[in-house]
Structure 1
Amino acid sequence: MYDESDTSRTSQKDVGAVFNAVQILASLAASTKPMGVAAVARASGVSTSTCFNILRTLTRARYVAFHHVEKTYSLGLAIAELAAGLIGTSPTALIRPEMERLAIKHGMLVLLWRITEDDHVILVDRAHSQSAIRVEISVGFRMPAFAGAVGRSIAAAMDLPTAELSRRFKTLRWQSNPGFDTYRSEVVAARDRGWATDNNNLYSGIISVGTVVSDADGIPRFGLSGVCIAGQYQEQAVQSFGQDLLEVARIAGRALYPKPKP
């Protein structure tokens, strides 16, 4: 029996027509004005003939609107109808399915943190795998915003001067203090790759991987992290989780804080 939660199958393949349609819709959504077939094909990476046929189908279904005079396309009314179901939905509810997917795929505890105005983060949701042995953190747990893997990513997003970063670092408590020079280099690395790790520093025996969900101005609003017991994962697995976590954070940021079109 097919199980949609099973993301470990190596034989799974994207359905080409569906993938192309999604790419086309994403290209139209990213454009500030209606686009012709050739422009849509270039932006989406779909061949012109395939793009034309998919656009015609989407137009008949009202997911795309066709402008007869200019012979151009834009998103249609049916897209708004779909989006209407998300209006008023909390960020937690929107992100949770992706958290659950990551937890099952990687076997980690996945956490969503809200960044507060007083330089702290509060755990607002979590998703875990069915592993018999796992880390447990209660919703409502609060910690300094610059601590741990999420903290390094917050620091990277804020891009503070070295003196200010040092001042904030001195207020943090670690079970194994990494030292400011190491911490700062890890913040720089997080800025480059988009996610950070904490290896036995905040809590001994615990590895965390973290990133941030930023708004349209690049201000971090939420933190996303994965937590596991040290020694359970090889470096390659940590790298893979970090990239997947970053992808979810970027998608969430675009969905929650879309850039206004000029």
Structure 2
Amino acid sequence: MEKENDPVGRSADLSLARAVRDSKAPAIARAAAVMRLLGKSETPLGLQGISGALGLVPSTCLYVLRALVAEELVSFDPDTKRYALEVGVLTLARQWLRRNQFSDLAQAVLDRIGQAFDVTMLGVQIVGLEHIIVVATSRTGRNFQFSAQVGDRFPALISATGRCIAAFGAYPERELERRFKSLRWDDAPSLEAWREQVAQTRAQGFAVDEGNYISGMTVIAAPVWKGRDRPSHALVAISIGSALKRSGLPELQDMLVSSAATISRQLSG
């Protein structure tokens, strides 16, 4: 779960720019990159800011923006000359959520666990080694609440969910190492320590991040399978480490694992 030092996020910009450069369908990649950039920004952006962040020629970027405005996916303010996401994006997202079986199955589980242990709960979808996307949330906890919204994207291998992906994804070690080195943590584990944690995750069926990703916070994740090859989703619990120990860490771990197993069976039929 990546933290950024500026509203847009320079590392995210570079990733989007590379995706546009390497795409075999550049028109689609440019439109997607523009929308993702606008979605990450806390304020509307001008043409020069967008084209510069994505490495696009301004005239090409303007063509993409005008097409997105025409489709009501992006809005343009003629007074400020800036662009932002438009309500049409919400329509697409709502249609996807209506068809997303995991979100429907997970929501009641997230609410129940959140209330029982006073934690923030997330349901995330795993997109290979690229990233994870929050598709369901529950902030029923009375004390600490981790700020994450449906649609937020984080690097795939970060925190507890990342350990689950590394443990059960059958990815090449060299690729895992390369991506691990690019991650940003509050208290980064060494590669050797992280590998040991991945092995422990594989043995026990869930992962724990104790203050590595966010100092003072404990994150627990249990993988969910839609097929047999690799985890497709994960259930994630987040809370202050000391509070989590008081509320019953072993019990929370057991409930996460059993709930993830139940949802896996439901998804796989």
TM bucket, shorter chain: 0.5 to 0.7
The amino acid that maps onto 1:222 is: H
What are the superposed Cα offsets for residues 9-54 of structure 1, whole Å, 9 maximum, x if unpaired?
xxxxxxxxxxxxxxxxxxxxxxxxxxxxxxxxxxxxxxxxxxxxxx
- Could you say which residue in structure 2 is the equivalent of 1:220? 231
1:201 to 209, 212, 231: 212
- Could you say which residue in structure 1 is the equivalent of 2:37? none
CA distance in 2, matches of 1:218, 1:150: 17
Normalising by structure 2, report the TM-score: 0.59
Residue identity (%): 27
CA distance in 1, matches of 2:235, 2:147: 16
| Residue ranges of structure 2 left out of the alignment (5+ in a row) | 1-97
CA distance in 1, matches of 2:177, 2:262: 31
What are the superposed Cα offsets for residues 79-133 of structure 1, whole Å, 9 maximum, x if unpaired?
xxxxxxxx96632012211111111111111100011246200111111224144
2:163 to 152, 172, 176: 152
Answer yes or no: is 1:128 the counterpart of 2:139: yes
2:222 to 211, 232, 242: 211
The amino acid that maps onto 1:253 is: S
CA distance in 2, matches of 1:192, 1:236: 24
Contact 1:154/1:211, CA 8 A, preserved across alignment: no
Per-residue deviation at 1:239? 2.2
The amino acid that maps onto 1:163 is: R
| Residue ranges of structure 1 left out of the alignment (5+ in a row) | 1-86
CA distance in 2, matches of 1:126, 1:211: 15
Contact 2:134/2:152, CA 8 A, preserved across alignment: yes
Contact 1:102/1:110, CA 8 A, preserved across alignment: yes
Normalising by structure 1, report the TM-score: 0.61
Contact 1:209/1:238, CA 8 A, preserved across alignment: no
User: Cα distance 1:105–1:235, how it changes in 2: closer, same or farther (>3 A)?
Assistant: closer
Per-residue deviation at 1:242? 1.4
The amino acid that maps onto 2:207 is: A
List aligned pairs for 1:21-32, cutoff 5 A. Answer: none
User: Cα distance 1:130–1:149, how it changes in 2: closer, same or farther (>3 A)?
Assistant: closer
User: Cα distance 1:156–1:143, how it changes in 2: closer, same or farther (>3 A)?
Assistant: same
Larger Cα Rg: Structure 1 or Structure 2?
1
CA distance in 2, matches of 1:233, 1:92: 25
CA RMSD of aligned residues (A): 2.1
Contact 1:134/1:229, CA 8 A, preserved across alignment: no
The amino acid that maps onto 1:211 is: A
CA distance in 2, matches of 1:95, 1:202: 24
Of Structure 1 and Structure 2, the greater helix share is in 2
